Structure 1
Amino acid sequence: MKHVTLLIIGMLLLVLGAQGAIRLLADHDNAGLLAWLPGGFAVWLACYAVAAVAGALLAGRGGKKAKRGDREQ
Structure 2
Amino acid sequence: MKHVTVLVIGMLLLVLGAQGAIRLLADHGDAGLLTWLPGGFAVRLACYAVAVVAGAALAGWGSRKARQGGHGR
Number of residue-to-residue matches in the alignment: 73
Partner of 2:30: 30
Question: CA RMSD of the aligned region, Å?
Answer: 1.4
Q: Which has the higher helix share?
A: 1
- Give every structure 1 segment of 4 or more consecutive aligned residues whose post-TM-superposition deviation is greater than 2 Å: none
TM-score (norm 2): 0.95
Instruction: Spell out the pairing of 1:1-73 with structure 2 (5 A cutoff).
Output: 1-70=1-70
Distance 1:5 1:19 in 2: 21
Structure 1 residue runs without a partner (length 5+): none
Distance 2:25 2:44 in 1: 10
The percent identity for this pair of structures is 78
TM-score (norm 1): 0.95
